[in-house]
Structure 1
Amino acid sequence: MSEFPCTLSLHEGFGEPHLDLFLDIDGNSRLITFGTVASNRDLFESGSTITFQRKKDHRRIYLDLEGEIEKKGRLRILFRGSAKTDSKPDEVSGWTELTATIKDGIMIF
């Protein structure tokens, strides 16, 4: 089982509000990033499993970024912690979507 740092952020003020899931699979490369509509927030926070779609990888700064982003709206971190999966990190980097839930304070794919 692989475990790595992750952050789920609400991105507002730049297009439609949405959730961005940032995954740090190796502590070095750009963040593997997935997104979904902001309306999935309540489902996710209630323990439901939701699906995220792959987005462009983001700079490492986004793992801890919260607040205004010049000309790109603002981010608010909703979850910061660990993600676990049965897949290897290099497999995760090739995914086009993932389903995730929070269980015992850990994000599970």
Structure 2
Amino acid sequence: MVDPLIRYAYFGFADAPSIVVRYAIAYELLRPVYELRGVLENVYKRNRVFKADVFVTDLGYGAPLSKALAKSTGQTSEESSYVLDPLYSLCYCDPSVEERFKALQKKSK
């Protein structure tokens, strides 16, 4: 096994690296974990928004919620401003208005 100090010498450090260098290396090694955590957080948050919409619909306020969503975005439930790829939409914690309209329509039927 290669001594860690020799590895740091390859990068131009004679002695043990400072805490900043150690942090930078650890961050680069853990970046995929941080990205995965971010995607999982977005999935969780989106799920909570849909559950909140279902709760509002169960209380009988589904139609007012649909009207409020349409009013806030300036579109009706039949209009589609854009179509998002499901994988692309994982990058955002809030579902699109179109996705929320579809979920509300499924629940109200």
| Structure having the larger proportion of residues in strand | 1
Query: TM-score, normalising length from structure 1?
Result: 0.23
**Bigger Rg, which one:** 2
Tell me: higher relative CO, structure 1 or 2? Use CA pairs within 8 A at least 6 residues apart: 1
Query: TM-score, normalising length from structure 2?
Result: 0.23
